[in-house]
Amino acid sequence: MRREEMMVACCGDLSGKVRGKAFPVSQFDKRLKRGVGWTPTNVQITCFDAIADSPFGSLGDLVLIPDPATRVSIESEAGAPNENFVLGNIRYLDGRPWEFCTRSILEAALARLKTVAGVTLYGAFEHEFQIKQLTGEIGKAFTLAAFQEERHFCEAVVAAMRDAGVTPDTILKEFGAGQFEVTMGPQKGVTIADHSLVTREIVGLVARELGYDPTFTPIRDPAGVGNGVHVHLSMLDDAGTPVTHDPQGKHELSDVAGMFVAGILKYLDAIIAITAPSVVSYLRLTPHRWSAAFNNLGFRDREASVRICPVSDISDIARAAQFNFEFRAADAAANPHLALAAIVHAGVQGIEERLPVPEATQEDLSLLDADALAARGFIRLPQTLEAALERFEGNPVVRDWFPAGFTEVYVKHKKGEIAYLDGKTQGEICAAYEAVY
């Protein structure tokens, strides 16, 4: 039977899923202007394909306009359809950005950073995921043998990333059973999140072609390891010069970077509902899981929410260009555009408030009681999604970063997700997220 090659116009939504509509590839240039139709209530489709309480009902029409810079076209093996998709922005019919378009929300956050500080964000995401068929393995963590066994998969992922315009960095067999980590080269601005989303989709594509079933779920089993998302960030001036590093600065952070980090930490308890937005996210964000449990800056500490990353004196890359910090309180249940927008807004707020650079911890904060933490400016992060949503909804500064009505719709979306899980055991809840992410 004859086929016609198709392109899918996509957007990342509040659930962290990538949704879209296909059209013939031959129409690509025309669709850059006319887009594809979109429905407002789609924003309330949860990760479990239930529709949360929606203020839109059956009313309204929108259009999803592709951005040609994000076009992905990967040639498949003989007999299989090529992979074609493109990311875009959801707009009103008159061209205005829709308030709940996550890519437009990130663009607004980045514009705020540019206005306030005169800098451009530069960074990359790291993703951990697991292949379900490989979870019975023991003794394979970080080994050459484990990589050799999955060389076909790993090399196919890297090749597809490159074909998609994403710069491959590393891929490795991680600590957990069947767990891998894939990293990419840094990019500027909205492309940071674009490449995160594209890479997730590529991993899924390659895995399925090999008969594997991957999952990016934050945690499959409370007794096992979690899958995190780490966001490495730095800043460039108008000339493209790195401005994150200052050898005389506290922790070698420049003034603008130090205030940015301070803002993230001050508002972390309110934005974590966006960066770690699933019920099971909070099984992972606990002490001694190499994730994040407190609003602390760490010096080379992989349990800190924000970590100052190491710089190598023997590298061929200049110290200032290497220097970056890493946001660790995130997972792949989060939409990368929305998560990065929340991080950027918090950082810019820190710049506007001229917050002092926090001290960097090199200790186990879980050994301190609440009073000792408070005396040093630390708090235990929310321990449930419900508590995180309360912090998000209850912080007027954070609410004002987002378009009118966004907070209410987002909270309703997440409450719809929570309602779907009502009455399920912890094991059943973990299985439900494993299936959808």
pLDDT tens profile 271-295:
999 999 999 999 998 888 788 888 8
* Separation of alpha carbons 327 and 268, rounded Å: 10
| 8 Å CB contact between 422 and 414 | no
Q: Are residues 278 and 350 in the same domain?
A: yes
Q: Are residues 82 and 113 in the same domain?
A: no
In-domain check, residue 380? yes
Mapped onto helix, strand or coil, the DSSP state of residue 185 is coil
Q: Is the pLDDT of residue 145 over 90?
A: no
Please report, for the domain that includes residue 431, its CATH number: 3.30.590.10
What local confidence, expressed as pLDDT, does residue 149 receive? 87
What local confidence, expressed as pLDDT, does residue 152 receive? 93
Question: What residue numbers bound the domain in which 203 lies?
Answer: 105-436
Matching residue, tokens 């009103």: 92
Q: Are residues 124 and 196 in the same domain?
A: yes
Q: Are residues 61 and 121 in the same domain?
A: no
What local confidence, expressed as pLDDT, does residue 78 receive? 65
Instruction: Please write the tens of the pLDDT for every residue from 317-365.
Output: 888 888 899 999 999 999 999 999 999 999 999 999 999 998 888 888 8
| 8 Å CB contact between 179 and 216 | no
Instruction: Please write the tens of the pLDDT for every residue from 386-407.
Output: 999 999 999 999 999 999 999 9
In-domain check, residue 1? no
Position 219 confidence tier, pLDDT thresholds 50, 70, 90: very high
Q: Are residues 196 and 78 in the same domain?
A: no
Position 136 confidence tier, pLDDT thresholds 50, 70, 90: low
Which range is least confidently modeled, 13-22, 237-246, 364-373?
364-373
Please report, for the domain that includes residue 34, its CATH number: 3.10.20.70
Proportion of the chain above pLDDT 90, given as a percent = 76
Q: Are residues 170 and 86 in the same domain?
A: no
Q: Which of 62, 78, 99 is the last residue of a domain?
A: 99
Dump the DSSP string for 24-39.
EGGGHHHHHHH-EEE-
What local confidence, expressed as pLDDT, does residue 94 receive? 95
* Separation of alpha carbons 255 and 389, rounded Å: 31
Position 316 confidence tier, pLDDT thresholds 50, 70, 90: confident
| Residue 362, burial from CB neighbour count under 10 angstroms (0-12, 13-18, 19+) | exposed
Matching residue, tokens 């401005």: 243
Q: Are residues 142 and 77 in the same domain?
A: no
| 8 Å CB contact between 146 and 140 | yes
| Residue 226, burial from CB neighbour count under 10 angstroms (0-12, 13-18, 19+) | buried
Per the model's pLDDT, the better-predicted residue between 428 and 142 turns out to be 428
Q: How many other C-beta atoms can be found within 10 angstroms of the C-beta atom of residue 132?
A: 15
Arithmetic mean of pLDDT over the chain: 93
| 8 Å CB contact between 122 and 236 | yes
Mapped onto helix, strand or coil, the DSSP state of residue 139 is coil
Q: Which of 81, 99, 117 is the last residue of a domain?
A: 99
Q: Is the pLDDT of residue 143 over 90?
A: no
Q: How many domains does the chain have?
A: 2
What local confidence, expressed as pLDDT, does residue 211 receive? 92
- Of 64, 70, 325, the closest CA to residue 196 belongs to 70
Q: Are residues 76 and 214 in the same domain?
A: no
- Of 4, 37, 32, 45, the closest CA to residue 21 belongs to 37
Q: Are residues 44 and 117 in the same domain?
A: no
Which range is least confidently modeled, 106-115, 122-131, 200-209, 304-313?
304-313
Give the CB-side neighbour count of residue 240, counting CA atoms within 13 A.
2
Within the chain, what is the greatest distance between any pair of CA atoms?
A: 71
Q: Is the pLDDT of residue 315 over 70?
A: yes
Q: Are residues 64 and 114 in the same domain?
A: no
What local confidence, expressed as pLDDT, does residue 384 receive? 96
Instruction: Please write the tens of the pLDDT for every residue from 59-110.
Output: 989 999 999 999 999 987 766 778 999 999 999 999 999 999 999 999 999 9
Q: Which H or E run includes 303?
A: none
